[in-house]
Amino acid sequence: MIPIHWYLTLSAMLFVVGVLGFFLKRNIIALLLSIEIMLNAVNLTFVAFSSALGEVGGQVFVFFTMVVAAAEAAVGLALVISIYRNRETLNIDRANLLKW
Amino acid sequence: MIVETLFFLFGAIALGGAINVVVQRQVLYSALSLIVMLASISGLFVLLRAEMLAMVQIIVYTGAIMVLFVFVIMLLNVNDDDDNTDTLRWPKFIGIPGVLFLLAMLSSSMWQVRIDPSLSAVDTGSAEAIGISLFTDYLLPFEATSVLILIAIVGALVLAKRDL
């Protein structure tokens, strides 16, 4: 049986990789992929605690996280298509209409 | 022993896949690498005895969400315009040390978590246990997510339609 802190440390590393990707990438779709990495790291934490504590609630929360991730992907990709139609680029720095 | 081996295998694949998502310049390769990472996370769910969630992870994430991503990437057919010259440089110089600090803080605090192993004897991962909990204790949030999905569908249609 693997101790829980191994899983938690792995998910912390995955989360940090997601944050790093969000900082470094400029493509809008790559930013959405980085968000998916972060969501999955948090899901892993939820499931590890749920399994270690014998509590079902953590796994139910992972279901809700997946629903929110699906909704976020649908709306986010619709925004990506809309931005590409107006700007002809996927670079996040080109979408600067609200920037002063 | 076999469980430890599988943990390190799936953990290494997940971490390598996640790093590859960030490193790749072509966004399609990033998406494919993310699929590998999601599949190995589902393997970790099996090791945690969350079989139901492992199945849902494969079906919903790698089956539905990533297909949507790959579909949009191929629809737009954009090569990498990742390296533009006039992007700001100073956020990287501040952000990368900040991210490394976050890594040190998170992993050192997570490494100190200890939970009594006898607590994990309860069955939490089967479809029956999750279903009972989902339709009794979490019934209202469950119904609220159906409204959320409906709003997301309508919002995606409105945003992506050319002229409404």
Question: What is the ipTM, given to two decimal places?
Answer: 0.91
d(CA B104, CA B138): 35
* Cβ–Cβ below 8 Å for B111 and A53: no
- State the smallest CA–CA distance between residue A83 and chain B in angstroms: 9
| A29 vs B73, B92, B106: nearest CB | B73
Instruction: With CA atoms as reference, report the closest residue to A66 among B122, B43, B41.
Output: B41
pLDDT score for B148:
94
Q: How far is A97 from chain B (nearest CA, A)?
A: 16
pLDDT band (50, 70, 90) for residue B147: very high
Tell me whether residue A86 is exposed, middle or buried, using C-beta atoms within 10 angstroms of its C-beta: 0 to 12, 13 to 18, 19 or more: exposed
pLDDT band at B164 (very low <50, low <70, confident <90, very high): low
- Give B37's contacts in chain A (Cβ within 8 Å): 14, 37, 40
User: Which of A43-57, B7-21, B72-86, B95-109 is predicted least confidently?
Assistant: B72-86
CB contact under 8 A, A54 and B124: yes
Mean pLDDT of the B108-125 span: 81
Residue A100 is predicted with a pLDDT of 67
Neighbours of B154 (CB within 10 A): 11
pLDDT of residue A13: 93
Considering only residues 21 to 80 of chain B, which have any Cβ-Cβ distance to chain A shorter than 8 Å? 21-22, 27, 30-31, 34, 37-38, 41, 44-45, 47-50, 52-53, 56-57, 60-61, 64-65, 68-69, 72-73, 75-76, 78, 80
Query: Does residue A35 belong to the interface with chain B, where contact is any CB pair within 8 Å?
Result: no
Give the residue among B20, B21, B26 at the shortest CA–CA distance from B79. B26
How close does chain A come to B66, measured CA to CA in Å?
9
Q: Is pLDDT above 80 for B77?
A: no
Residue B117 has pLDDT above 80, yes or no: no
**Is B89 in the A-facing interface, judged by CB distances under 8 Å?**
no
Percent of chain B with pLDDT over 90: 54
Q: State yes or no: pLDDT of B92 exceeds 80.
A: no
**Amino acid B63: pLDDT:** 87
- How many Cβ pairs within 8 Å bridge chains A and B? 242
* Averaged pLDDT for residues A42-49: 94
Please check the confidence at residue B137 and state whether its pLDDT lies above 60. yes
Distance CA B40, CA B18 (A): 11
Q: What percent of chain B has pLDDT over 70?
A: 91
Q: How confident is the model at residue B146 (pLDDT cuts 50, 70, 90)?
A: very high
Q: Which residue has the higher pLDDT, B78 or B133?
A: B133
Chain A closest CA to B149's CA: distance in Å? 6
Cα dihedral A5, A7, A9, A12 in deg (nearest 10) = -140
Mean pLDDT of B135-146: 93
* Residue B79: per-residue pLDDT: 65
For chain B, say whether A96 makes contact (Cβ under 8 Å).
Answer: no
Joined tokens for residue B140: 């209202």
Contact A67 B111 (CB under 8 A): no
pLDDT-derived band at B88 (thresholds 50, 70, 90) equals low
